[in-house]
Amino acid sequence: MLDIVMQQLLPNIGKILLIIALLMLAVAI
C-alpha cells in the first residue's frame, strides 16, 4: 500500500520542486 502511494507521489513531488525552483530563479532575476 505505502509503496504504491510513494510511487504515485514521488514523481509529482519532483515536478512541484522543479516548479518551485523555477519560480525562485524567476524571482531572483
pLDDT at 1: 64
| 1-29 pLDDT tens trace | 678 877 888 888 889 999 999 999 999 97
What's the predicted TM-score (pTM) here? Answer: 0.57
Sign of CA dihedral 3, 16, 22, 20: negative
